[in-house]
């Protein structure tokens, strides 16, 4: 619609924004005007309420503008406008279906504005908006309401957590999900909860409870929403946190430098202030203790019951309408719960039986789920037939290479969690696949081999055991773990600390010129320790403050595939008869065992004899990270099973593993693309000067006078060049003199401090 | 040599015929002008091909529909047409082509129209409407008038007051007696005059003259006049027509009113008070179907009710305002005397009736 043009004469003054501006500056003087406009609003509201559906724009001022106006200045006249919020809410709740879109949005916006001005409390606002959100058919209104509700929840939780509001809102959401399990309205509860979870506004069990109920609903969308939250919500939250933490690092020095050079304006001063505040805030944030964020899976009240009901309701029951993808999601969640909380669901393993064939769509996901579902408290009797079936169906020379490698990987993952699911003959059979022609299969088989070298080398053939495993076997380190056997706990990394202390002591003694091995009088040491109670006082006690040492020549321990090939190729004469070796190992085992016992005692000794000071603990933490970094640097990019956090899910990609290797020869294009992958763009080859210049440009630095002179338009320089030739001697002298003077002063502006 | 042959060729070119080929369109001549055009719609100047002229009724309906037009001139002309139709071309007591109940919803928003011409024309049209028909639709009209009275634009305020004057003249009893008609309208009056608070009614107060105030003293005079009329109808002395249909409980008034109905035999007295009222919506005060009303939106049907509310809420402000207007002197002072007179009458009457003031 084209806006009607008004002639100058017929223009009437109805300038609400102007009045609003004046009221803001001087509310008292304009109270009469405001009162008049309030009556005006009342009359318009009356007209509107008499016929809400047929309301048209009346005259030059509409109800919408009046509402906007009053909402903006309502805080100046709280007495006159005390009913205003309630009236808006009434209009919205009663007539939101027939209201014009613009008016509707204006009312919502005004309510939020009133909330910001503290004329309305959050609970009332949310109680008004939320029912409309779930009932309105208008998509735009829903989007608007969702955004506003979210914003309000965020802002009311910004300074400190508003527990009361959160609790009410969570209860509303919980009721929404549980009241009608067939309706899709629960989606709003899911959306809201997920968003707030992502932003770490809701991190408590109640929010998780809402999602739990959602995933047990009957509506497919709601179910999937709930399941996806458990599978991906925490990761999303972490990513969000990372994003917000490394937004843009502000270089305070640079900011100050720029301000020192450029023109000083208020705007720039403000920018500096802002940057300073941001830096300060980040500093403070950095020093704050890390908030305890339990993942949603840990906050579940009754994981066993939840997993069971998920399994029976969505997977086992024949009435469930979920399709395969959705079922897979449910299965992933169930198995993750099982693996994480070490649950036992009776029929879960037999349920898998049906799906473990190579022809099953997305079978790798099933395999991953199965591996996830196995833990060391699962009876081996349950798992053994499954492993057998995988071996039979997937791993054979006749099957495709990808299939075989996926099967081997799955078996490895299962056995990593429950080694007793394997038996000796099968293992030896499977290990033989490392002689396969296909690389993917070879790698998978080697993975299985190296796993069992750690877990139970006795089941391997002697020539497959490798050096370390045989030595461990002889010393008695590598023993078969019995069912449900738990390792004795200790302090992680305590041996590192002990080692470090020993080294320190040795250094000290070396300085003093004493024998490094001799016993030291402990008292001095003790004193040091007691000094170390206060970490803040002697911050320089740890010499590498905040730095982590990475050994430059860390030995890279690749998987021992090469040497073990050598092992197997070694002349047979070295192999002795089995009885002989057994006797030998037994004899050696006893001695080694006693040694190990001693070592263990020593390890414990530090923790048992001494109270660890905060300085010790800080050092311990440092050593631990150092060790972790060293380990990472050693094993490049390979994530072994022990490195994986036990919360992390196992994905189908990991089961598929290096199947890409067995996919056959790559085409030429693929090879070219692969070669190009790591390389930088050709355009990046530039001269050093050009690169520097670019960097300077990017940093927003100005050009030097030289550069300016070089860039100057040729035609502009012509005049001066011509006139130079025509100068008289006197003129030339004057110019030269002036130049000399200027050079002394230090340029046109001078640098003599005036 | 070369150039001359080139010139020759160019000269020759003008006389060469273009060859026609089968299956190809003919080449356009040099002086060809493209006359084709594109348009979203094509308006024909004579659309109607009927020979009969439209009846007056259809013309009337057509012009009613044109009242919502975007163009000022169109709205004004339509209003003028409707007015002439109502005043001149309607024989005697013939019914309107469209009843007032359908006319008013389209007319009422025009009170807030931005164009002055439209509003003056509207006033003329309203005056041409048959008064008896308007009475029943007062409650519908009043919100628009009140919105106009508090409008930011001074001209619209003046128009709204004029419309109110007409309405009070035509259906005074309904105006003061309908839902919200008393308190809300009085509020608007006070707001127009700026009499709400003590300091704002002082002459020295910075009367926040926001927006164009129109011609200086004139609007105030007009508003004061209308206020006097309004108060007269609402709480003025009961006389003749003013108290005619009111539910009046006094004996004397009952007798005069009763005279119109008929003389009743001795045992029957004040019969009309017990009979079904003769208004169009007799039970509207029960408010069976509407929103629940608050104090401001309530109906104050009897004089006593109105006076009580007036005394409690407005009397002080109005007295103060009238006093300051009197002190202003001139035309305004003279206009204020009319209000003053009504006030005095009402007070005297109230004291006589034993109401506390």
3-class SS letters over B269-332: CCHHHHCCCCCCCCCHHHCCCCCCCCCCCCCCCCHHHHHHHHHHHCHHHHHHHHHHHHHHCHHH
pTM over 0.90: no
Residues of chain A whose beta carbon is less than 8 angstroms from a beta carbon of chain B are 4, 6, 10-16, 19, 22, 29-33, 35-37, 39-40, 42-44, 46-47, 49-50, 56, 58-61
User: Does one domain contain both B183 and B321?
Assistant: yes
User: Is residue B175 a contact partner of residue B181, using CB atoms and an 8 Å limit?
Assistant: yes
Residue B144 at interface with chain A, using a CB cutoff of 8 Å: yes
Report how far residue A202's alpha carbon sits from residue A173's, in angstroms, rounded to the nearest whole number: 13
Burial of A176 (0-12, 13-18, 19+ CB in 10 A): buried
State what percent of residues in chain B have pLDDT above 90. Answer: 8
User: Does one domain contain both B110 and B235?
Assistant: no
For B60-90, how does the pLDDT look when each residue is reduced to its tens digit (9 = 90+)? 888 888 888 888 899 999 999 999 888 877 7
CA geometry: angle A290, A295, A300, nearest 5 deg: 135
- Give the distance, in angstroms, between the CA of residue A114 and the centroid of all CA atoms in the same chain: 36
User: Does one domain contain both B203 and B319?
Assistant: yes
Residues 223-262 of chain B with CB under 8 A from chain A are: none
Q: How many helices (H) and strands (E) does chain B have?
A: 16, 0
The CB-side HSE value for A420 (13 A sphere, CA atoms) comes to 15
Closest CA to B63 of B23, B15, B97: B97
What's the pLDDT score for residue A414?
93
Burial of B279 (0-12, 13-18, 19+ CB in 10 A): middle
Whether residue B266 lies inside any domain: the answer is no
Report how far residue A106's alpha carbon sits from residue A111's, in angstroms, rounded to the nearest whole number: 9
CA distance B165 to chain A (A): 18
Partners of B196 on chain A (C-beta within 8 Å) are: 32, 35
What's the pLDDT score for residue B50?
74
Measured between alpha carbons, how far is residue A352 from residues A223, A309, A381, B89 in Å? 21, 17, 14, 93
Whether residue B173 lies inside any domain: the answer is yes
What single string gives the DSSP state of each residue in B115-174? -HHHHHHHHHHHHHS-HHHHGGGHHHHHHHHHHHHT-SSHHHHHHHHHHHHHHHHHHHHH
| CB–CB contact B192 A36 (8 Å) | yes
What's the pLDDT score for residue B322?
87
| CB–CB contact B208 A32 (8 Å) | yes
Summarize the confidence of residues B37-50 as an average pLDDT: 79
Partners of B153 on chain A (C-beta within 8 Å) are: 12-14, 60
Residue B143 at interface with chain A, using a CB cutoff of 8 Å: yes
User: Does one domain contain both B109 and B201?
Assistant: no
User: Is residue B183 a contact partner of residue B313, using CB atoms and an 8 Å limit?
Assistant: yes
User: Does one domain contain both B118 and B233?
Assistant: no
Residue ranges of chain A whose pLDDT lies below 50: 1, 6-12, 520, 522-523, 536-546, 553-579, 582, 635-642, 754
| CB–CB contact A58 B153 (8 Å) | no
CA distance B174 to chain A (A): 18
| CB–CB contact B143 A32 (8 Å) | no
H helices of B35-129, in order, are 56-65, 72-87, 100-107, 116-128
Helix or strand or coil: residue B24? coil
Whether residue B115 lies inside any domain: the answer is yes
What's the pLDDT score for residue B80?
92
The pair of three-digit structure tokens given for residue B123, joined into one six-digit string: 């006033």
In the block, tokens 């001795």 appear at B266
CA distance B112 to chain A (A): 5
| CB–CB contact B194 A29 (8 Å) | no
User: Does one domain contain both B118 and B215?
Assistant: no
User: Is residue A449 a contact partner of residue A431, using CB atoms and an 8 Å limit?
Assistant: yes
Give the nearest chain A residue to B143 (CA atoms). Answer: A43
CA distance A105 to chain B (A): 23
Burial B184-222 (b: 16+ CB within 10 A, else e): bbbbbbbbbbbbbeeebbeeeeeebebbeeeeeeebbbb
Q: How confident is the model at residue B254 (pLDDT cuts 50, 70, 90)?
A: very low
For A7-43, how does the pLDDT look when each residue is reduced to its tens digit (9 = 90+)? 444 444 568 888 899 899 988 888 888 888 899 898 8
The pair of three-digit structure tokens given for residue A223, joined into one six-digit string: 């179910």
Measured between alpha carbons, how far is residue A473 from residues A182, A464, A476, A576 in Å? 59, 13, 5, 16
* Number of domains composing chain B: 2
The pair of three-digit structure tokens given for residue A721, joined into one six-digit string: 């060049």
CB-nearest to B114 from A10, A49, A50 is A10
Give the nearest chain B residue to A39 (CA atoms). Answer: B150
What's the pLDDT score for residue A473?
83
Residue B144 has pLDDT above 80, yes or no: yes
Report how far residue A224's alpha carbon sits from residue A222's, in angstroms, rounded to the nearest whole number: 5
Whether residue B25 lies inside any domain: the answer is no
Closest CA to A44 of A35, A53, A30, A57: A57
Report how far residue B111's alpha carbon sits from residue B106's, in angstroms, rounded to the nearest whole number: 10
User: Does one domain contain both B214 and B354?
Assistant: yes
**Quick one: DSSP state of residue A540?**
G
Whether residue B11 lies inside any domain: the answer is no
| CB–CB contact A33 B208 (8 Å) | yes
Structural domain boundaries enclosing B204 = 130-242+299-357
Residue B291 at interface with chain A, using a CB cutoff of 8 Å: yes
What phi-psi label fits residue A438: left (phi over 0), alpha (psi between -120 and 50 degrees) or beta? Answer: beta
User: Does one domain contain both B121 and B228?
Assistant: no
| Domain range summary for chain A, segments of one domain joined by + | 11-120, 334-481+651-663, 714-754
Whether residue B271 lies inside any domain: the answer is no
């Amino acid at each position: 619609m084209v806006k009607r043009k008004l002639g100058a004469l017929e223009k009437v003054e109805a300038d609400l924004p102007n009045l609003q501006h004046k009221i803001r500056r001087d509310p008292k003087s304009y109270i009469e005007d405001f009162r008049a406009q309030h009556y005006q609003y009342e009359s318009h509201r009356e007209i509107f309420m008499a016929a809400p559906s047929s309301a048209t724009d009346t005259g030059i001022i509409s109800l919408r503008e009046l509402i906007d106006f009053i909402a903006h200045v309502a805080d100046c006249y709280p007495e006159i406008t005390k009913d205003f919020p309630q009236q808006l809410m009434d209009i919205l709740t009663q007539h939101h279906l027939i209201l014009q879109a613009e008016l509707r949005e204006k009312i919502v916006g005004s309510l939020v504005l009133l909330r910001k001005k503290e004329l309305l409390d959050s609970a009332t606002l949310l109680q008004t908006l939320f029912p409309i959100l779930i009932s309105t058919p208008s998509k735009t209104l829903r989007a608007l309401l969702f955004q506003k509700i979210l914003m309000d929840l965020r802002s009311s939780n910004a300074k400190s957590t508003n527990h009361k509001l959160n609790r009410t809102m969570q209860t509303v959401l919980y009721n929404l999900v549980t009241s009608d399990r067939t309706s899709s309205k629960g989606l709003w509860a899911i959306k809201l909860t997920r968003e707030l979870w992502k932003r770490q506004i809701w991190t408590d069990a109640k929010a998780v409870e809402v999602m739990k109920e959602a995933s047990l609903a009957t509506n497919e969308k709601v179910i999937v929403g709930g399941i996806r939250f458990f599978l991906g919500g925490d990761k999303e939250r972490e990513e969000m946190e990372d994003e917000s933490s490394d937004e843009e690092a502000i270089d305070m020095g640079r900011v100050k430098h720029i301000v020192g050079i450029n023109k000083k304006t208020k705007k720039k001063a403000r920018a500096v202030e802002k940057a300073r505040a941001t830096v300060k805030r980040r500093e403070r944030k950095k020093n704050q203790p890390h908030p305890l964020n339990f993942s949603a899976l840990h906050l579940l009240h009754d994981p066993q019951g939840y997993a069971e009901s998920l399994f029976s309701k969505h997977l086992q029951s024949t009435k469930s309408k979920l399709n395969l993808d959705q079922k897979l999601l449910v299965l992933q969640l169930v198995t993750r719960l099982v693996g994480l909380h070490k649950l036992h669901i009776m029929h879960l393993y037999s349920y898998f039986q049906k799906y473990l064939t190579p022809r099953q769509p997305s079978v790798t996901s099933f395999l991953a789920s199965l591996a996830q579902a196995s833990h060391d408290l699962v009876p081996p009797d349950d798992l053994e037939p499954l492993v057998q079936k995988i071996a039979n169906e997937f791993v054979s020379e006749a099957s495709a290479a990808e299939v075989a490698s996926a099967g081997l990987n799955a078996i490895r993952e299962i056995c990593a969690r429950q080694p007793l699911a394997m038996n000796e003959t099968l293992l030896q059979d499977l290990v033989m696949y490392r002689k396969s022609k296909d690389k993917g299969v070879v790698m998978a088989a080697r993975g299985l081999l190296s796993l069992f070298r750690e877990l139970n080398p006795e089941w391997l053939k002697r020539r497959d055991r490798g050096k370390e495993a045989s030595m461990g076997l002889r010393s008695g380190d590598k023993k078969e773990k019995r069912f449900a056997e738990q390792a004795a706990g200790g302090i992680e990394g305590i041996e590192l600390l002990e080692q470090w202390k020993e080294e320190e002591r040795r250094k000290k003694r070396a300085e003093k010129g004493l024998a490094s091995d001799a016993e030291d009088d402990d008292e001095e040491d003790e004193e040091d320790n007691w000094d170390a109670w206060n970490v803040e006082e002697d911050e320089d006690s740890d010499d590498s403050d905040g730095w982590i040492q990475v050994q430059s020549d860390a030995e890279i321990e690749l998987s021992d595939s090469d040497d073990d090939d050598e092992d197997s190729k070694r002349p047979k004469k070295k192999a002795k008869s089995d009885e002989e070796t057994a006797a030998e190992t037994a004899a050696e085992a006893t001695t080694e065992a006693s040694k190990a016992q001693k070592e263990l005692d020593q390890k414990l000794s530090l923790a048992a004899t001494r109270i660890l000071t905060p300085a010790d603990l800080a050092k311990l933490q440092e050593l631990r990270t150092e060790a972790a970094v060293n380990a990472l640097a050693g094993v490049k990019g390979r994530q072994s099973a022990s490195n994986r956090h036990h919360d992390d899910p196992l994905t189908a990609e990991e089961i598929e593993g290096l199947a890409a290797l067995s996919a056959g020869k790559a085409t030429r294009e693929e090879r070219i693309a692969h070669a190009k992958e790591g390389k930088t763009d050709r355009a990046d080859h530039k001269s050093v000067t050009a690169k520097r210049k670019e960097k300077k440009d990017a940093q927003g630095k100005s050009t030097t006078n030289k550069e300016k002179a070089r860039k100057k338009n040729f035609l502009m320089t012509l005049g001066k060049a011509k006139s130079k030739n025509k100068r008289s001697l006197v003129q030339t002298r004057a110019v030269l003199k002036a130049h000399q003077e200027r050079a002394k002063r230090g340029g046109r502006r001078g640098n003599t401090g005036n | 040599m070369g150039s001359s042959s080139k010139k020759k060729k160019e000269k020759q070119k003008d006389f060469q015929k273009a060859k026609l080929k089968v299956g190809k369109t003919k080449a356009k001549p040099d002086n060809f002008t493209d006359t084709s055009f594109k348009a979203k719609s094509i308006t024909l100047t004579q659309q109607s091909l009927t020979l009969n002229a439209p009846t007056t009724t259809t013309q009337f309906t057509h012009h009613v529909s044109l009242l919502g037009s975007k163009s000022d001139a169109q709205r004004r002309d339509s209003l003028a047409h409707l007015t002439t139709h109502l005043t001149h071309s309607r024989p005697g007591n013939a019914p309107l082509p469209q009843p007032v109940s359908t006319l008013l919803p389209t007319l009422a928003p025009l009170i807030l129209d931005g164009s002055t011409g439209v509003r003056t024309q509207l006033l003329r049209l309203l005056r041409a409407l048959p008064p008896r028909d308007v009475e029943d639709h007062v409650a519908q009209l009043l919100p628009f008038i009140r919105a106009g009275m508090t409008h930011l634009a001074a001209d619209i305020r003046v128009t709204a007051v004029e419309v109110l004057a007409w309405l009070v003249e035509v259906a005074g009893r309904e105006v003061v007696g309908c839902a919200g008609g008393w308190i809300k309208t009085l509020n608007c009056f006070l707001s127009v005059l700026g009499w709400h608070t003590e300091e704002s009614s002082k002459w020295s107060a910075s009367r926040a003259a926001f927006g164009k105030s129109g011609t200086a003293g004139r609007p105030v005079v007009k508003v004061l006049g209308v206020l006097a009329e309004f108060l007269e109808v609402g709480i003025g002395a009961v006389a003749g027509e003013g108290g005619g249909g009111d539910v009046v409980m006094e004996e004397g008034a009952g007798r005069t009113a009763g005279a119109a109905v008929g003389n009743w035999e001795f045992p029957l007295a004040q019969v009309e008070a017990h009979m079904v009222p003769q208004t169009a919506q007799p039970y509207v005060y029960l408010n069976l179907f509407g929103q629940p009303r608050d104090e401001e939106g309530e109906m104050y049907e009897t004089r006593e009710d109105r006076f009580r509310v007036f005394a409690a809420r407005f009397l002080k402000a109005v007295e103060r305002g009238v006093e300051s207007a009197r002190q202003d002197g001139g035309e305004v002072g003279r206009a204020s005397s009319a209000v003053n007179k009504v006030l005095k009458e009402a007070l005297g009457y109230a004291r006589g009736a034993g109401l506390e003031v």
